[in-house]
Amino acid sequence: MNFLQKAGFVLAMMLIPTLFTFTEPAQAQTGAEAPAVKPAERPDALQPRLLVKNAEQPVRLVSLAVRTEIQGGFAESSLEMIFHNPNGRILEGELEFPLSPGQEISGLALDIGGELRRGVPVAKARGQEVFDDIARRKVDPALLEATRGNAYRLRVYPLPARGQRRVVVRIMQPLAVEDGGLRYRLPLAMAEPLDSVTVEAEIVAPQGGVKAEAGNLGLTLEQAGTIFRGRAERRNISPEGWLDISLPAPQSPAPSVMAARWEDKLYFSAAAQLDLPNKARSLPKLATILWDASGSGRERNREAEFALLDSYFQAFGSGQARLIVLRDKAEPPLNVKIQNGDWAGLKTVVHELVYDGATNLKAWVPTADGREYLLFSDDWSNWGGAGKFPALKADQRLFAVNSAPTADYAALRSLAVRGTVIDLAHESAALAEAKLLQEGARVSLDRTALADAAEAVLGPDSVYLSSAEGRGGLIRLAGWVKRGGKAHKITVRVVFSDGSAKHFPTPLPAWDKTPEFEGEGAPLAARHWGRYAIAELEGDYRANKKAIARQGG
């Protein structure tokens, strides 16, 4: 299934030689009403860069064309890049580009003889064999490899002497929920001027109210019914700012469902808005800080972590803090008294920690008196995945905090029991603070009516929803029903902070009233299901490697 492009898979063109490779994740290296929070701008995203060794003159990006399509709470963007090699000899380059959490590679194309050729998936075991065979035939191979976290590296060869090479990368992502609406952002800023920059956007928005801008490129939208389209094209310009698109979230808790029949299944994808009260959390009198001090911790943003803890202990007031330092093994717990939010003594201890050794996040034991755990880590664990993490009791919760540029977000989500992931690398400080200090709700699916003829899974960002995110955020789910299956609805169960629960039924479309998909690849609903299914397994990649392979085979 070519919509499951995650770690553990190789995508290769058997007759048309383009290859993607996705490798195993790298090892770690040697109460009261709360004020409404409008998230500030996210930290700047990292930019793609082409690395070329031994080039007398730099190989540069000369043209960028971006096309973004938004529908059903999701965006899929195509980035077409043209690179020019001014040198008098053939060169080889590596294009490095990090993605934000939630973004996924949904396609790759490379020009072969002036024509763009796309990749399709094969089993990982065949990947190197296919690549070697392509190289022996002296045809242009391309290798796309997942490195650390949500970062990728694309081998581009050849870069022809005094010639150009075109690369197209497709990226899929859910829209962010901000201040009661939906938002999409893509960085456009480039330090050097480009010969040409083109930005196109198409947004399906039944509620209207779409706003869009593209830095200094001058993007204007035109409306045709529920569809908004815009295009901007400039030459000899250094693009600035972001492609920034906002639109209203669904105004009703009733779910919006899109579906398509494909092969022998009906695939569906649904989104529903959840209202949550804007309420501050009641904090315990003992907070346990799990601090990953392994070698990879040197990449974390200590200033941002300390600022978050400043806010946390200010709200905490007086009580006890317990620090457990984790490397290849856990250090003995250190208990520190906190008085009126003053955690200066604990901060000094953490500030003086030395970051070295391996990561073993399972090397600690929860205590009976510990109700709240804050884990500061990128979760590049050397000692097994989340399945080995200590189990927490029903009255205990954990928030996972990352501040490194790249992290194993899938594993962090699985560790955040009755809590959430706080991403200081990509979220504003205001939003991070609100997610930690405001109440949220836990979401699950009732699968009892699905049996063997259907499957459904929540989106990875829908398992825990925070009241900090506007009106609560979107519940996203996707799945399939086999031909003749008896499932007619999926029930979503939401448990609120006070223990109360609500059930929201999501009706599924009938087989004979659902159109059959006739496009290339897979329908969007099927790609949503594939992404969610893999994300659920990736929390413990090593333990689920075979299951991930079965999903993607």
> pLDDT tens for residues 23-45?
333 333 334 444 333 333 444 44
String of b and e for 150-160 (b: at least 16 CB within 10 Å)? Answer: bbbbbbbeebe
Pairing state of beta strands 151-159 and 142-146? Answer: antiparallel
Separation of alpha carbons 291 and 377, rounded Å: 7
Q: What is the pTM of this model?
A: 0.67
> pLDDT tens for residues 260-318?
999 889 999 888 777 777 788 899 999 999 999 999 889 899 999 999 999 999 999 99
Nearest CA to 441 among 502, 390, 386, 490? 502
Helix axes 302-316, 429-437, angle to 10 degrees: 40
> pLDDT tens for residues 431-487?
899 889 988 888 999 877 666 678 889 988 888 887 765 445 678 889 999 887 777
DSSP letter assigned to residue 392: P
The DSSP H or E segment spanning 94 is strand 91-98
- Please work out, in degrees rounded to the nearest 5, the angle formed at the alpha carbon of residue 397 by the alpha carbons of 292 and 535: 75
CB 61 within 8 A of CB 52: no
Work out the mean pLDDT of the chain and round it to a whole number.
79
CB 306 within 8 A of CB 55: no
Terminal Cα-to-Cα distance of the chain (whole angstroms): 6
Separation of alpha carbons 203 and 188, rounded Å: 19
CB 356 within 8 A of CB 294: yes
Structure confidence at residue 498 as a pLDDT band (50, 70, 90): confident
> Residue range 512-538: average pLDDT?
81
> pLDDT tens for residues 342-391?
999 999 999 999 999 888 888 888 999 999 999 999 876 655 544 467 88
Structure tokens given for 383? 């000692």
Q: What share of the chain in percent tops pLDDT 90?
A: 33
Separation of alpha carbons 244 and 241, rounded Å: 9
Distance of CA 524 to the CA centre of its chain: 17
The DSSP H or E segment spanning 257 is strand 256-262
Structure tokens given for 358? 């391996």
Separation of alpha carbons 499 and 132, rounded Å: 57
**Per-residue pLDDT at 110 exceeds 90:** no
Distance of CA 54 to the CA centre of its chain: 35
φ, ψ of residue 512 to 5 degrees: the values are -75, -5
**Per-residue pLDDT at 15 exceeds 50:** no
